[in-house]
Amino acid sequence: MKLVLTGSTGFVGSKLLTSLSSYDVTVIGRTKPKSSLNYKFYQAEINSAADYLPALSGADILIHSAARVHIMDDNVTDPLAEFRAINTEGTVNLAKQAAEAGVKRFIFISSIKVNGESTSLNNPFRPDGEVAPQDPYGVSKAEAEEGLKNIAKETGLEVVIIRPPLVYGPNVKANFSTMMKWINKGVPLPLGAIHNQRSFVALDNLVGFIIRCIDHPKAANEVFLISDDEDVSTSELLRKVAKAFGKKALLLPIPVWLMTSVAKLVGKGDVANRLFGSLQVDSSKARELLGWKPVITMDEQLKKTADTYLEHEKTL
């Protein structure tokens, strides 16, 4: 089976590439990934104008994980236009050419932000729930999904849409990496009395599910939400991270209402929402329809993540 992968230098894509050794893989990307896997490389940007047909010729499956990712404090003049150029227009261009080339299935790594930013407690997002993106990144992903569904109807291309929440694992970046640094250094954090519930997905679990979708007949033209099925509060997550480092988290029980008020005063209301609000997903469809189950627990993935972090720290 011939498979084409985009985003192979990214956090999810790089792990995917190392997990596809049993396939004939062609990578589409801006730069060639460093990997021991024997693969073909086709250099191209993800945009509305690129020609992908040489890379797609003879391919059976395309996994599209490349994206302009969510950026904190994005300072471009028109963020929505920037996100659309890659995440929407680039995805639609790629899918149209995939259909033209005779690719059977297009697996799209979308985002839970298509559903929205938060849920009420124990009222999780579901695959058939309302689409309500609230930021440019989420809007661009939602529009890409709509474009893919239209192409599927017009051409017969099978489309599989996967919306993960926050993905964590070895070499994770951004806020999760910052949190790990604070915990490892023993910094006291005012986050000891948070009783929200948030879904996460381990990198190993997400990659395992993507691979399950490659040839499972029941995955065709479906939308899936995926998680570890281990929802935790922010306080619980911090304690689990500390445990992974072999430490005890220093968490101060500061009232959430006080921290929320301060965050809003300094213009960090969105940060407060991620720390204190709930965001849960219902991944039962993945288990029931495809027979999928997590391959690793949250504690196990956090231990692998912490070990990788410490190894990296030794080399600095």
User: Which listed residue (52, 137, 168, 309) is catalytic?
Assistant: 137
Query: CB within 8 A of 88, min separation 6: which ones?
Result: 140, 141, 143, 144, 147
Backbone angles phi, psi at 161, to 5 degrees: -110, 125
Which residues on adjacent β-strands are paired with residue 159? 106
Question: What is the number of residues in the chain?
Answer: 316
Report the phi/psi class of residue 58: left, alpha or beta, with left for phi > 0 and alpha for psi in -120 to 50.
Answer: left
User: Is 42 considered catalytic here?
Assistant: no
CA separation for the pair 203, 167 (Å, rounded): 6
Q: 123: closest CA among 255, 277, 313? A: 277
Structure tokens at 311: 């190894």
Backbone angles phi, psi at 240, to 5 degrees: -65, -40
Instruction: Judge contact between 78 and 18, C-beta under 8 A.
Output: no
DSSP per-residue codes, 195-243: ---B-EEEHHHHHHHHHHHHH-GGGTTEEEE---S--B-HHHHHHHHHH
Q: Which residues are catalytically annotated?
A: 137
